[in-house]
Structure 1
Amino acid sequence: MSLPNLLQGRLRLPVIAAPMFIVSNPDLVIAQCTAGVVGSFPALNARPEHVLEEWLERITTELDAARAAEPEAPIAPFAVNQIVHASNQRLAHDVELCARYRVPIQITSLRAPDAVVEAAHSYGGLVFHDVTNIKHAKRALQAGVDGLILVCHGAGGHAGRLSPFALIPEIRAFYDGPIIASGSIASGGAVLAAQAVGADLAYIGTRFIATEEANAAPEYKAALLAASGEDIVYTDLFTGVHGNYLRSSIEAAGLDPDNLPAGDKNTMDFGSGGASSAKAWRDIWGAGQGVGQIGDVQSAAQVVDALAAEYASARQRLAA
């Protein structure tokens, strides 16, 4: 297992906070990074496109100031998520802007990120790519990515079908670089479990939706607190790609979560309603199967504090 030099000594916990459509914003990213975990956001959250430069300027400036004020503190780098798909007409613009601001990490999704890798490597940045299976992992490695994010069953939003206990060892059989594990990771104990099975870092999204800084409606946060793992529905209806969503939001849109039609991947448009009039992420809320472990709405710093305490407790239990 390995950790890139960029991350060594700069993390309080081996965690990357997942980029969440609509939800992730500069307030959340800065709070996550200053708390000691990698904060991230989708480039498409900055709308219209000129807003992306404002976000990059603010995040870069505030994190630099935080490091200058506390040079010994583990203040993490940040990441920007790029959707590598024909429906993302902003991709070239956003990648160029990230290169100009020397964004430390770019997280790529959906298709092999050859052009993003070339741009990021031109200034020393890293690219971590989302994969759900062996085929996609090997294609991403051909593109030269610096790490693989294994989006396993139970992860919030778009997710694969395999358990992390299946996918991580299979990829470890041919890849010894950085692996970031995703899928129902909502506690410090789960972070340690991900490391135990072969991952270097854990990818956590849903738990950070229920934070003060997150750009999620109060009703969304309340629905997370009321939900359990059994309230997560896995479907491809809303974007054409399978993902996990809150049952209550599907019902609120007038749909039957137990009788959803199949989606159409050929009509996929990121952020669209796919094969449904209800719009993914805005009307239909993503969440992972670890949702039942969220007890209240806290600040991002409090969430990281809790994760750190849970992580330390899990290590002590195993040592005993």
Structure 2
Amino acid sequence: MIQSILPEQWQDRLSIPVVMAPMFLVSGPEMVIAGCKKGVVGTFPALNQRTSEGFEQWLIQITEALTTFEQETGKKAAPFGVNLITHPSNPRMEADLALCIKYKVPLIITALGAMRSVTDQVHQYGGVVFHDAINIRHARKAADANVDGIIAVSAGAGGHAGAINPFALIEEIRGFWTKTLLLGGCINRGHQIHAAQVMGADLAYVGTRFINTLESRAPEGHKTMILESTADDVVHTPAVTGVPSNFMKQSLLNSGYDMKALLDQGHIDFGKKLTPSGSDSSKAWQDVWSAGHGVSGIKNIVSCEQLIEQLVLEYKNSNCR
């Protein structure tokens, strides 16, 4: 059995070394609670709630549900986490961070800007900070910000993904990083989680596979498109959100995107992107569906409980080979 480098607060709380990646407009309290109860770190983006007031209600819902679970079962739930976009264009960053501090959210996942000030505030209440990194430059910035874990988002991951092979990305980061390291990109099965650890990661960062669960907030069309897609149906482009990301080609076509223009650099502005549904800018978030190359291995829609039990069994079997 491979020994993972995990935050001290997480010891004996995971059934499998997996963090459920936060997915925009897909992850919600239902999926987070279901994952944490089964020993997987459940996370969601703060911006999945359209206001900070709504975000606070989700924090209350998750905290109360997991507290009740532990009281009734005598078992420890896995920690839960919140993804904060720390880019200057996010107008809610400070307000949402204040709520995370208020409710002592166990894990904060920062993206689009590693900030020492955020890390320090989370550490003050005993929380943990992980940061997304698609290359060695981002990883070193995260290390300078004193984060507790670096998420190596490799080629083929869903959402804001990198373009570097996972073998190379893990090798480069491990050259200087001795704390918790996560690997994201095309991880659907238990033996792939084991493989990530063999490569040098401590935890697998699994996103796309959880889109096709009953607790996912993705529309049925999104889930069906995943069932029908292969890796060739995923397009890596900065044109939608301003950051290079992976999206399903058919959803881009359905939304009227010019396929020839998809390599044009977009503009990052989360204030504009958070305008009410119905405006043109909301199309980037609601009509275009993200997924990674892992769509190739997804053939069904199951509950989080069923999926995690399958992952645990596959993981244990792969460790016995």
Coarse TM-score class (shorter-chain normalised): over 0.9
Residue pair 1:159, 1:243 contacting (<8 A) in 2 also: yes
CA shift at 1:270, angstroms? Answer: 7.0
Q: Distance in 2 between matches of 1:278 and 1:102?
A: 31
Match of 1:269 in 2: 270
Match of 2:218 in 1: 216
Q: 1:173 to 1:186 in 2, by over 3 A?
A: same
Match of 1:25 in 2: 28
Letter of the 2:284 counterpart: A
Is there any run of 5+ residues in structure 1 with no aligned partner, and where? none
TM-score by length of 2: 0.93
Which of residues 292, 303, 306 in structure 2 aligns to 1:299? 303
Q: Secondary structure at the match of 2:223?
A: helix
Match of 1:282 in 2: 286
CA shift at 1:65, angstroms? Answer: 1.1
What is the root-mean-square deviation in Å for CA atoms of aligned residues?
1.7
Q: CA deviation digits over 1:179-223, x for unaligned, max 9?
A: 011011111111111100000000000111111111111111111
Q: CA deviation digits over 1:208-254, x for unaligned, max 9?
A: 11111111111111111111111111111101111111111012123
Residue pair 1:271, 1:281 contacting (<8 A) in 2 also: no
Which of residues 37, 41, 52 in structure 1 aligns to 2:40? 37
Q: CA deviation digits over 1:18-67, x for unaligned, max 9?
A: 00111111111000101110000011112222011111111111101111
Q: CA deviation digits over 1:89-139, x for unaligned, max 9?
A: 111111111111010000000012222112101101000000111111111
Letter of the 2:195 counterpart: A
Residue pair 2:255, 2:283 contacting (<8 A) in 1 also: no
Match of 2:154 in 1: 152
Q: How does 1:104-253 map to 2 (within 5 A)?
A: 104-253=106-255
Q: Secondary structure at the match of 2:247?
A: strand
**% of aligned pairs identical?**
44
Q: Distance in 1 between matches of 2:94 and 2:273?
A: 20
Q: 1:156 to 1:56 in 2, by over 3 A?
A: same
CA shift at 1:314, angstroms? Answer: 2.0
CA shift at 1:278, angstroms? Answer: 7.4
Letter of the 1:285 counterpart: W
Match of 1:59 in 2: 62
Does 1:103 pair with 2:97?
no
Q: Distance in 1 between matches of 2:316 and 2:164?
A: 28
Q: Secondary structure at the match of 1:171?
A: helix
Q: Distance in 1 between matches of 2:11 and 2:136?
A: 27
Residue pair 1:32, 1:38 contacting (<8 A) in 2 also: yes
Q: Secondary structure at the match of 1:19?
A: coil
Q: Distance in 1 between matches of 2:149 and 2:272?
A: 25
Q: Distance in 1 between matches of 2:282 and 2:100?
A: 32
- 74-83 vs 307-316, which moves further: 307-316
Is there any run of 5+ residues in structure 2 with no aligned partner, and where? 275-279
Which of residues 20, 44, 49 in structure 2 aligns to 1:46? 49
CA shift at 1:269, angstroms? Answer: 3.0
Letter of the 1:154 counterpart: G
Q: Distance in 1 between matches of 2:16 and 2:264?
A: 39
Q: Distance in 1 between matches of 2:7 and 2:163?
A: 28
TM-score by length of 1: 0.93
Q: Secondary structure at the match of 1:280?
A: helix
Does 1:4 pair with 2:7?
yes
Residue pair 1:157, 1:243 contacting (<8 A) in 2 also: yes
Q: How many aligned residue pairs are there?
A: 313
Q: Secondary structure at the match of 1:21?
A: coil
Q: Distance in 2 between matches of 1:288 and 1:63?
A: 30
CA shift at 1:259, angstroms? Answer: 5.4
Q: Distance in 1 between matches of 2:76 and 2:226?
A: 30
Residue pair 1:192, 1:315 contacting (<8 A) in 2 also: yes
